[in-house]
Structure 1
Amino acid sequence: MALPPTDWPLTGREAELQLVLGALDQAPGVVLVGPAGVGKSRLAAEARATLARRDVPTHRVAASPTATAVPFAALSALVGSAPPHRAVEAVADALRGRATGGAVPVLHVDDAHLLDDASATAVQQLVASGRARVVLTVRTGEPVAGPIRSLWADGGLTVVAIEPLGPAEATALVAAALRGPVEGRTAHRLVTTSKGNVLFLRELVEGSLADGALQERGGIWVLRGRPARTPLVEDLIGARLGPLDADEREVAELLALSGPVSLDLLGRITDLAAAERLERAGLLQPVSGRAAVELAHPLYAEALLDQLPALTRLRLSRLLAEVADAVGPEAAGGELRVVLWRRDGGLDTPAERLLAAAQTAAEAGDTRLAAELALAAHDAGAPMQAVTLAASSMAEHGRSAEAYALVSRMVDAATDPDEVGPLTLRLVEEQWWALRDLEGALDRCAAAADLPAPWDDVLAAQAGIFAALEGRALDALEASLPLVDATDPMVARHAAIAAALGLLLTGRPTEGADVSARVVEATAGRLPTHASDIGVHVVTRAYCLAAEGDLAEATELAELVYAGAAAQPGVQAQAWAATTVGEVAMRRGDVDGATRAYAEGEQAWLDAGQSGMARWAAASLALAHALAGRTEDAARAVARAEACDGRGFTMQEARLSRARAWVAFLSGEDGPGAAAQAAASAAGTGLTTFAAEAGRDLLAMGAAAEAAAVLGGLQPVGSLARRWAELAEAVVAADAPALERLAAAFEAQGALLDAAEAAAHASRAHRAAGAARDASRCATRSAELAARCPGAATPILGDRTASAELSTREGEVARLAADGLSNRAIADRLFVSERTVENHLYRAFTKLGISGRDELGDRLTPR
């Protein structure tokens, strides 16, 4: 599925486009300067198209490197058969022939640095005489003919620097081109590999689509493997690397293998004169803030490595490793890189170095590499810590069965309690998460009471985590709360996970957030980074904050986790991050954002082999579809959730029950009855937070009395759920002032969908009381808030506009007035008197709560 280049929109260049258009209004032209492939020509083409819509005549010409010695080569289509001394007049006549209304034509010259001298002089004269304005694109670092350079030095042209796209803009461009959201890790890989160069970015996407590496899965575009290079990219890279001599190529190959490397290390291996030549050629660049260098683009490294013979790779890797050992790992960029050079160079590496490198890889999120190095460390004689690290790393990217088999063999053979403890912890996690041997995992946790400290308490806390995942929140709290302040950091960290989850589920999210933060702070620096589970604590805290209604901090944490996970290869990290973003987005009312995030989370959990968590993500996705009114999509997501094995993760059943209730409601069945049953079931097991969410569903489905009964009977709950209870009570009482106050309170929390619905209920209450102006005011406020909830289409929002109050004739008159017709023109069109028109407008203004026709457009529903 290849997308033609014309389908790629202009994204991320809105500011530059306005700058170009503004400059053309005030100056004789614009020069777009930037590296090859950043989108100069695309930006110029968009400016030309905009000018054409304004009836400004435009024309494009392109200079060519093969025609720099041919006079007027670039302008030949405009010069025609005119003799050289008439060439400028011929071009001016051709451009003027396209003009209408006296507009000065615009000539777009692509690659103006390649213009032949005659064409350059003609362009300069056209601009100087005012017969044309110009948009010139020029490649950074290329020599430019004197007449062209004089245009921006002395001729008043505005110079606009076009830089590569930033990560956000590049990601938005890919999503726009693919017409769908892009997985975070996929976007990161495409952006970093292209380095924001639009040409490379487009070609990588096209190539990856063509070879199947980039596919749409569950509504999300996902890249598996590295981006595929197209023949065009290969040609462009080959043109840069092909002319290198032997010394230059060896330096380039060394840098492709090493990545950024210190000048000290590089100078011990090769002649720096060759490196200087590479820098002058634009193939090598200094690393900011360090006495180090790197290749100027990641694609150069990929191409060089693909062409590197095996023996050359071995020789250069060994050379890098030996020199790095001589100068120290800091000069090489860290011990991990040195160990990898030793591996690739066929050198034996001590077990302790392999294990340290594995730990570094795990901390960086590269769990595949961490597993490989940890297993190598164990084979080389490293302690049992290598096995647990290898197993946890394998599980992170879906190899849980292998991890279980490895740990199971080791725990049966272990006799040292200090080895049995960590192995047992790893084993029970795999039993629960991968094998779903719930009974076996709990039995091992119970038997661990005979282990020496701290492993007896660590396994007790782990049993608390399992209880929370099963929805036995009170059991989780009983097991964990006495341990959260333990002096041993492993005990405290595991207990904090169980306690925070239990507190969240039982309606005490503020306490859960505090436990997560307090324990992380108290144990900071006392555990290896890879063993501290810091990401889990951040995620748990974000969930707690979202449930409490502290959506600003929850959003900040979710975005932080997502950005970090997108830059890592680990699959589970991305799954946690995506579902966390979805959770917070739903609380804010960003239904489209939640849909994207939950869809990404579902796919990532499936890739990680964790169907229980995929069930959670799919059920959450179904709810997002439901809030957008997408009944069939919601039903399909429910079916996918039901197909996932949920054993060991039954805390999620309340969410799946809610999703089923919404599908029933949207299908015309008894949704409120199903939602009430979901609320009762959750409340009966102490999961008051989930019960409150089901109560909120009842209100959204229009069952306000039932919602008030459910929400009013739940204790304890977070502040957001308490406001839901107040909202339900105010709806039942038709208390418009209270509903308005609640709308403001929800907005202050960032719960914008709640705010929009509260304002809509206030409008309805005012309308019922005969307060038309207040009803219209609240309807308008609801519409404004709903506009900040992308994708939301809940039932009450369909009734939020006040224009439905207008009679057919009042609406007809109001629309004509909004279109700019005078009272006399409206009267003539409708065959009524002007006085009748005035009366209709007066009644419309009163009902809509406005004072004049200039406000009509904002208050009327779209046709």
Structure 2
Amino acid sequence: MTTSDAGASAVRGRSTSAGVPTPRRGPSRAPVHVLHPDVVEHVTSSLGAGRSVLVVGDAGTGKTQAVARAVERLRAEQDDVRVVLISGTGTQDALPLAALEPLLDDAGAAFGDLAATLRSLTAGLDRLRGDGRLVLRVEDAHRLDEASARALDWLVRQGTVQVVATLRLSWASRAPWAALWKDDLVERVDIAPLTRDDAERWLTAELGGPVTAETAHHLWQASSGSATLLRETVKDALASGALARRHGAWMWRGGPQPRSRMEDLAELDLQGASGQARAALEVCAVVCPITLDALLDLVPAAAVDELVLAGAVTTTTAPTPSGGTTRVVDLTTSAYADVARAWIPASRQRDLLQRALDTPVLRGVAAGSLVRSVALAIDLGMSVPPTRLREAFDAAFAIHQYDAAVRLATGALASCPPEQAAELHALRADARVMLGELAETERDLARAAELLAAGPLDEAAGLLLHVADMTAHVTHTRLGDVDRALARLDDVVAPLRAADPEGHLRRWRDEVEVTRLTRLGYAGRFAESLDAALVALDGDTHPARRVSLAPPTALGLGERGELRRALALCLQFGAVASAHGDEHRWGSGEVLVSTFLTLLWSGEVDAVRDALGPPGGDLPFAVEWSSVHTALGLMAVAAGSWSEARTQLSTARARSGPADLSGFLRSSLTAEAVAAAACGDAAAARDLLDQAAHAAVGSSGALEGDLRVRRLDALGWMRSPELVAEARAAARWAHARGAARVELEALHRWVDATRRTGGALDPAVVARVRDLGRVCDGERCAALVAHVEALAAGDADLVRIAERELNRRGLWLPPLEAPVSLTSREQEIASLAAGGMTSRAIAQRLVLSTRTVDSHLSRVFAKLGVHSREELGNVLR
């Protein structure tokens, strides 16, 4: 089918929709926000320069939308451009030249004579071009019939027409497209599948507000990186109520989804498939992911090639256990499986699945497909080998599909032998705790403990210790009472104590002691746990068990000011956690949190972002999603990016439910209070501090000192008269528990607040700051001491230099005089500029243009009556 903005004269005498003019201006039916703005820019630029372009990508990557936007922009920029649209859909098996027929000047004279056909095409295109430029837009060029493709190749080579075409990646190496690109007659622009970062940016823009990390991950994963599927999934989720807004952030609520529109597109892709290709798809829908060699034992190679060209399956290279590599086949999206399974009888599905269950799984390959195939086997009442079930469960955890893990365990429990039930209850508890379903988690753990207590314990001791550890963790989180958590720990291990009073069985006494010290550490009871924990970490308890003890121990060392030792501990056990990820699912995430906080307390702001990994990267371990936003918010606070901090931290608050598994909720609330106060929103800051004061402590006692310091920072930005008294009280609290770093931070705020109120500095306090500076590690501690020394010396230049160093180390102090006439954004930019940042650096940090930053600074200068950044620093400081 062809459409043109040249008018009906292009196809005189024919009754076809090709002659209907397309409006030159008007609303586009495409989504408001573009998924690939860089591709749109590239294609627009190339077309504007007169180049033909091939936009290449897998099905659903957004090729059509990108080309439509590029053409739309080109027509807006160049009034003489006329665009003619043709589509290869439905023409592959039609008559020769079916796609180009509407462009022929005289169709009757063209057929059967190549020369006459080309003359007719040239004349038809000349007529369409008129006095302007003509761009032929070709959708689904891989679907063109062979004659149309050859004719188009000739036209481009002769310079008769400029083309912009979309093409499946699987066809990019075939004639005539590869030759056109090789001969530099067309420019090739590839569109890769969406990264999670791409998806999150688009979701935020499309939904008009922040999206929780869990929601972005779920939608990105559900779309398999497909731009089309992401758009359609969002439409379905909004229509069904699965996407809802809470505290200004969009959250995934789940629930049954309607039939995906992607299934309709998948059926369209399969319309021209041969019988053997459809039969091969039936196999793939059930057994994928599968090695290519294994698949070729089930279906012909030609059928696999046809499915690859259709975009239904893809092949990748994966490592084998022996150290080699192999080719693995998987479906490009689950929509193809859903379509194919609709016509496969259950008996055939069971037969195919049985073959798949006997095939070795390559670790880390197509986790979603593995989960899907095992779930299907369970639904069909098949017996799934325990090892395959465990592999599927681990795969669900690896891709954060905790609800799928619950379904797997629930389905398996319905028909499992008694000896497997305890492990399945424990596995389901592992998944439910990540979903915040603490009551259900406790029931599963209690049932697992009951089954394991019946014995024999010589083989089940390891699982019982895991159940005991999880029971203590959940009880501590839910009740906030570490003593009751430790009592529950003793209850669960009582059968071990009775059966093995000497503790020879798997050294269970040592492992229980590690759990006890871990819980005391997270409760913040370092006086009775820290020294013993350091000894235990050097012991010979199983490494996977010691991983859980390392993070609270590092937090305790950080509180005492031994930051270098804390960081070394984090690095040591980060490697251990990676090596034993299959035995302690939360290890890597817990160590990452402690590493993040240790670096933040050390003032290594640049290293903090590196510790979290690349933006938008997929986390290959279990994670509590609200902690992701809290970490990003704390990074923004350390960077002085108050607006970004408020967005991330309010999203963390929206995501946090009654179960604060990470213990980060109070930390998030106090950090959000600092950001709100820095933006001039004192009422919101007060409310957030009040919420933090009344929030459940849970397992966040290890962060109590940090929370007190952050409360002081919020009071400082609010210019609260309570600051001096609270800083004094925080310093005394820290001194009493030997928390040297916290005491140093509190004394610094005391000294700074005294300076602001015009009071005289207490020499004893300054001397104590010096003493603490000799005890505490890290550049931030050194910067705090230097700032106090400069204030005590009364040297304004040294004070300014010290404050800029504090900025670099993550601490932003409020200005001496409140800039009452500045907006929150102006305050934010002015503060960064006063800290020595260039306009370009500020723009990069706040995701603004440099021109916008300079515009804000011009207004700030005018309002405050200053003419330079140096004067701005004097006014704000």
* TM-score bin (small chain): 0.7 to 0.9
User: Cα–Cα, structure 1 residues 373 and 379, in superposed 2: closer, same or farther, change >3 Å?
Assistant: farther
2:198 corresponds to which residue?
Answer: 169
AA at the equivalent of 2:478:
A
1:316 corresponds to which residue?
Answer: 349
Match of 2:527 among 465, 468, 474: 474
The SS at the match of 1:646 is coil
Preserved contact between residue 426 and residue 444 of structure 2 (Cα < 8 Å): no
1:781 corresponds to which residue?
Answer: 836
AA at the equivalent of 1:343:
I
- What CA distance in whole angstroms lies between the structure 2 residues aligned with 1:274 and 1:422? 48
After superposition, residues 792-831 of structure 1 pair within 5 angstroms as: none
User: Is 2:257 the counterpart of 1:202?
Assistant: no
Preserved contact between residue 59 and residue 311 of structure 2 (Cα < 8 Å): no
Preserved contact between residue 38 and residue 164 of structure 1 (Cα < 8 Å): yes
Displacement, 1:545? 2.0
1:833 corresponds to which residue?
Answer: none
Displacement, 1:602? 3.5
AA at the equivalent of 1:62:
L
After superposition, residues 834-853 of structure 1 pair within 5 angstroms as: none
Match of 1:111 among 139, 143, 155: 139
- What CA distance in whole angstroms lies between the structure 2 residues aligned with 1:428 and 1:729? 46
1:181 corresponds to which residue?
Answer: 210
Identity %: 21
Preserved contact between residue 156 and residue 163 of structure 2 (Cα < 8 Å): no
Q: CA RMSD in A?
A: 5.4
After superposition, residues 500-515 of structure 1 pair within 5 angstroms as: 500-515=554-569
- What CA distance in whole angstroms lies between the structure 2 residues aligned with 1:151 and 1:359? 46
User: Please, what TM-score do these two structures have when normalized by structure 1?
Assistant: 0.72
Preserved contact between residue 203 and residue 229 of structure 1 (Cα < 8 Å): no
- What CA distance in whole angstroms lies between the structure 1 residues aligned with 2:246 and 2:199? 21
Displacement, 1:486? 0.8
1:819 corresponds to which residue?
Answer: none
- What CA distance in whole angstroms lies between the structure 2 residues aligned with 1:542 and 1:481? 20
1:840 corresponds to which residue?
Answer: none
Task: Compare 489-498 and 544-553 and name the one that shifted more.
Answer: 489-498
Preserved contact between residue 559 and residue 705 of structure 2 (Cα < 8 Å): no
Displacement, 1:230? 7.5
Displacement, 1:606? 1.6
User: Cα–Cα, structure 1 residues 361 and 241, in superposed 2: closer, same or farther, change >3 Å?
Assistant: same
- What CA distance in whole angstroms lies between the structure 2 residues aligned with 1:776 and 1:665? 15
Task: Compare 287-296 and 366-375 and name the one that shifted more.
Answer: 366-375
The SS at the match of 2:613 is helix
1:463 corresponds to which residue?
Answer: 516
AA at the equivalent of 2:438:
S
User: Cα–Cα, structure 1 residues 167 and 462, in superposed 2: closer, same or farther, change >3 Å?
Assistant: closer
- What CA distance in whole angstroms lies between the structure 2 residues aligned with 1:404 and 1:776? 48
After superposition, residues 401-550 of structure 1 pair within 5 angstroms as: 401-408=439-446, 411=449, 413=453, 419=461, 421-443=465-487, 452-453=502-503, 454-489=507-542, 492-519=546-573, 528-530=582-584, 533-550=587-604
AA at the equivalent of 2:589:
G
Displacement, 1:27? 3.9
AA at the equivalent of 2:547:
R
- What CA distance in whole angstroms lies between the structure 1 residues aligned with 2:199 and 2:699? 40
Match of 2:287 among 242, 258, 267: 258
1:392 corresponds to which residue?
Answer: 430
User: Is 2:630 the counterpart of 1:579?
Assistant: yes
- What are the superposed Cα offsets for residues 37-76 of structure 1, whole Å, 9 maximum, x if unpaired? 5444544454456556656543433225688465448999
2:250 corresponds to which residue?
Answer: 221
- What are the superposed Cα offsets for residues 606-663 of structure 1, whole Å, 9 maximum, x if unpaired? 2756495434333333333333444455455445545643355345555665666666
Preserved contact between residue 592 and residue 791 of structure 1 (Cα < 8 Å): no
The SS at the match of 2:245 is strand
- What CA distance in whole angstroms lies between the structure 1 residues aligned with 2:363 and 2:186? 47
Match of 1:58 among 72, 81, 85: 81
1:790 corresponds to which residue?
Answer: 846
User: Is 2:355 the counterpart of 1:295?
Assistant: no
The SS at the match of 2:317 is coil
- What are the superposed Cα offsets for residues 7-62 of structure 1, whole Å, 9 maximum, x if unpaired? 53335432x44544544565455454555654445444544565566565434332
Displacement, 1:261? 0.8
User: Is 2:700 the counterpart of 1:649?
Assistant: yes
1:738 corresponds to which residue?
Answer: 798
AA at the equivalent of 2:284:
L
User: Cα–Cα, structure 1 residues 173 and 563, in superposed 2: closer, same or farther, change >3 Å?
Assistant: same
AA at the equivalent of 2:678:
L
2:673 corresponds to which residue?
Answer: 622
Match of 2:784 among 724, 727, 730: 724
Displacement, 1:669? 4.6
User: Cα–Cα, structure 1 residues 12 and 707, in superposed 2: closer, same or farther, change >3 Å?
Assistant: farther
User: Is 2:165 the counterpart of 1:137?
Assistant: yes
- What CA distance in whole angstroms lies between the structure 2 residues aligned with 1:487 and 1:663? 44
1:825 corresponds to which residue?
Answer: none
- What are the superposed Cα offsets for residues 409-438 of structure 1, whole Å, 9 maximum, x if unpaired? 565655777646554433322321224454
Preserved contact between residue 731 and residue 744 of structure 2 (Cα < 8 Å): no
Preserved contact between residue 578 and residue 588 of structure 2 (Cα < 8 Å): no
- What CA distance in whole angstroms lies between the structure 2 residues aligned with 1:733 and 1:11? 56
- What CA distance in whole angstroms lies between the structure 2 residues aligned with 1:151 and 1:220? 47
Preserved contact between residue 36 and residue 66 of structure 2 (Cα < 8 Å): no
AA at the equivalent of 2:419:
G
2:21 corresponds to which residue?
Answer: none
Task: Compare 285-294 and 642-651 and name the one that shifted more.
Answer: 642-651
Displacement, 1:381? 0.7
- What CA distance in whole angstroms lies between the structure 2 residues aligned with 1:360 and 1:268? 26
- What CA distance in whole angstroms lies between the structure 2 residues aligned with 1:439 and 1:663? 32
1:817 corresponds to which residue?
Answer: none
User: Cα–Cα, structure 1 residues 649 and 381, in superposed 2: closer, same or farther, change >3 Å?
Assistant: same
AA at the equivalent of 1:402:
E
- What CA distance in whole angstroms lies between the structure 1 residues aligned with 2:130 and 2:642? 56
User: Please, what TM-score do these two structures have when normalized by structure 2?
Assistant: 0.71
AA at the equivalent of 1:60:
V
Displacement, 1:504? 2.0
Displacement, 1:212? 1.7
Preserved contact between residue 285 and residue 338 of structure 2 (Cα < 8 Å): yes
The SS at the match of 2:233 is helix
Preserved contact between residue 551 and residue 590 of structure 2 (Cα < 8 Å): yes
Preserved contact between residue 619 and residue 655 of structure 1 (Cα < 8 Å): no
User: Cα–Cα, structure 1 residues 318 and 734, in superposed 2: closer, same or farther, change >3 Å?
Assistant: farther
Q: Which has the higher contact order (CA 8 A, sep 6+)?
A: 2
